[in-house]
């Protein structure tokens, strides 16, 4: 229930207001404060939230400090695509390009020339088609030369050559060699080309003396072809540890060529 305002209390409030009003009017005015000019150019541009964006306007997203900008080209991620596409080119173009690379690497490895303009080209443009072809060719030649157990001869020759190349490559890497695994496999496979030629000559002639001479010449040729690449890949103090297993594998292949009858 509401109570009416007491007359005495209302009169006392009015007296207090009348007393304070002259005191407020007699108070001196405070001095004006200096205003600081603010340029409109220093203010950051107003950003509207995405939900309140005006249609047709472009709202720029805030840039986070420390982010890395990756350029994305209009036709691909990170830059333009190469002009040649190997997946859509004709098969003959692919075969011709691979054959050209095999012949080029064969000339660089088997016929080393210290005065060549780019002696390290075979290390950069390595491939595995050439080594695979020479390993399979040597296994087939040895199996054709055998009078019995042709499949066993091919299996033994292929296993010895493939496993030997992998073991020799691991040996070079464990010795601290500065060479890629597949580069070493490629070079060791290309250096089998002279032994392929020697095995083919021995298959066409059954003379033991001719076999020995041909194997010695092709063995020296293969070792000479592998020497510059393997010796340059390891420390000079460990050169013998890297070259001796290579020479031992080629000697075993030469003995296999002579022993096949």
pLDDT tens, residue by residue, 179-232: 888 888 888 889 899 999 999 998 888 788 999 999 999 999 998 888 888 878
- Could you give the angle at the alpha carbon of 181 between the alpha carbons of 179 and 187, nearest 5°? 75
| Residue 32: per-residue pLDDT | 56
Rounded Cα gap, residues 172 and 165, in angstroms: 11
Name the DSSP class of 2. -
Of 54-58, 69-73, 143-147, 173-177, which range is least confident? Answer: 69-73
CA distance 115 to 171: 29
Q: Are 229 and 189 in contact (CB under 8 A)?
A: no
For 104-113, 124-133, 143-152, 220-229, which range has the lowest pLDDT when averaged over its residues? 104-113
Q: Find the range with the poorest average confidence among 71-75, 118-122, 172-176, 253-257.
A: 71-75
Token output for 209: 């003396």
Give the position of tokens 């021995």: 202
Residue for token digits 């087939």? 140
* Whole-number pLDDT of residue 71: 44
The per-residue pLDDT for range 21-43, each reduced to its tens digit, is: 555 555 555 555 555 555 444 44
Nearest to 241 by CA among 83, 163, 233, 81: 233
């Amino acid at each position: 229930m509401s109570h009416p305002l007491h007359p005495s209390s209302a009169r006392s409030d009015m007296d207090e207001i009348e007393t304070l009003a002259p005191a407020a009017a007699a108070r001196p005015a405070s001095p004006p404060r200096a205003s600081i000019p603010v340029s409109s150019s220093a203010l950051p541009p107003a950003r509207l939230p995405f939900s309140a964006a005006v249609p047709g306007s472009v709202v720029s997203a805030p840039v986070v400090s420390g982010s890395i900008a990756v350029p994305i080209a209009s036709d691909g991620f990170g830059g333009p695509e190469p002009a040649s596409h190997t997946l859509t080119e004709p098969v003959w173009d692919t075969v011709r390009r691979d054959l050209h690379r095999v012949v080029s690497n064969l000339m660089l490895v088997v016929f080393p020339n210290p005065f060549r303009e780019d002696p390290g080209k075979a290390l950069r443009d390595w491939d595995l088609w050439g080594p695979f072809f020479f390993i399979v060719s040597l296994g087939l030649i040895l199996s054709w030369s055998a009078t019995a157990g042709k499949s066993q001869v091919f299996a033994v020759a292929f296993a010895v050559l493939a496993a030997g190349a992998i073991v020799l490559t691991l040996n070079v890497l464990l010795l601290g060699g500065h060479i890629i695994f597949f580069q070493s496999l490629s070079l060791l496979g290309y250096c089998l080309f002279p032994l392929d030629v020697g095995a083919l000559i021995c298959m066409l002639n059954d003379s033991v003396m001719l076999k020995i001479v041909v194997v010695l010449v092709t063995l020296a040729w293969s070792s000479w072809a592998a020497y510059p690449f393997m010796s340059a890949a390891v420390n000079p103090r460990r050169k013998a540890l890297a070259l001796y297993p290579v020479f031992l594998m080629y000697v075993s292949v030469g003995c296999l060529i002579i022993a096949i009858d």
